[in-house]
Amino acid sequence: MPAPDTLPGTPLYGQFPTALRFSVREQSRNRLAALLLLLFVPLWYLLMTAIAGDKDVDFKLYATGEMLSVGGKHITLITAGLNALTMISGFVVFDAVRKALAFDKRLAFAGFGQSTLVGAKMLAIGIVASTIALYTALALLLYWRPGFTGWGTILAGFATMTLTYGSLGLLLGVLVKNDLEGFFLIIMGGLTDTFLQNPLGNPAANKPVLQYFPSFGPMQFSVGGSLGDTVLWRYLGFGLIWAASFAVVGLIVFHFRTRSRRPKG
Amino acid sequence: MTTRPEPALTARDIHKAYGRHQVLRGVDLRVDPGQLVAVVGENGSGKSTLLKAIAGTLRVDRGEVALSGTLGYCPQDPVLNANLTVDQHLRYFAAAHRLTALDRADELVRLLGYEKYRDTAAGDLSGGTRQKLNLTLALLHDPDVLLLDEPYQGFDWETYLRFWDLVDQLHERDKAVVVITHLVFEQERFDVLADLVDGRLTPRDTAVKEPSHAGA
The 10s digit of each residue's pLDDT in A48-78 is 988 887 888 888 888 788 888 888 899 999 9
pLDDT for position B210: 46
Whole-angstrom distance, CA of residue B30 vs CA of residue A130: 53
Would you tell me how many other CB atoms lie within 10 Å of the CB of residue A38?
12
Q: Each residue of B39-58: pLDDT tens digit?
A: 998 888 999 999 999 998 89
pLDDT at residue A8, rounded to an integer: 61
Q: Which residues of A touch B101 (CB under 8 A)?
A: 5, 12
Domain spans of chain A, in order of start = 15-257
- In this predicted structure, what is the pLDDT of residue B1? 52
pLDDT at A4 over 60: no
Query: How close A250 gets to chain B, by Cα (Å)?
Result: 20
B51 in reach of chain A (CB within 8 A): no
> Is A95 part of the contact surface with chain B (CB cutoff 8 Å)?
no
- pLDDT above 60 for B78: yes
* pLDDT tens-digit readout, A70-121: 888 999 999 999 999 999 999 989 988 898 889 999 999 998 988 899 899 8
Chain B residue numbers touching A6 (CB-CB < 8 A): 70, 97-100, 141-142
Contact check, Cβ <8 Å, B65/A12: no
Domain residue ranges in chain B: 9-78+128-203
Average pLDDT for chain B = 89
Tell me the whole-structure pTM to 2 decimals: 0.85
Cβ distance B100 to A110 less than 8 Å, yes or no, reads: no
Residue B124 forms contact with A (CB below 8 Å): no
Q: In the structure, what pLDDT confidence band is assigned to residue A265 with cuts at 50, 70 and 90?
A: low
Give the minimum alpha-carbon distance from A219 to chain B in angstroms, rounded to a whole number: 35
pLDDT-wise least confident of A145-154, B50-59, B166-175, B204-213: B204-213
Interface probe for A, chosen from B9, B99, B137 (most Cβ of A below 10 Å), is B99
- Please determine, for residue B214, whether its predicted confidence score (pLDDT) is greater than 70: no
Burial of B21 (0-12, 13-18, 19+ CB in 10 A): exposed
b/e B157-169 (16+ beta carbons within 10 angstroms → b): eebeebbbebbbe
Q: Which residues of B touch A106 (CB under 8 A)?
A: 75, 79, 137
State the Cα–Cα distance between residues B68 and B45, nearest whole angstrom.
Answer: 27
**Phi, psi of B191, rounded to the nearest 5 degrees:** -75, -40
- In this predicted structure, the answer to whether residue A249 has a pLDDT above a threshold of 70 is yes
CATH number 3.40.50.300 is the correct assignment for the domain at B9-78+128-203 = yes
Q: Cα A35–A51–A77 angle (5° rounding)?
A: 60
Between residues A204 and B75, which one has the greater pLDDT? B75
pLDDT of residue B184: 62
- CB crowding B42-53: b at 16 or more within 10 Å, else e: eeebbbbbbbbb
Mean pLDDT calculated for residue range A179-198: 89
CB contacts, 8 Å: A2 with chain B: 103-104, 107, 142
ipTM rounded to 2 decimals: 0.89
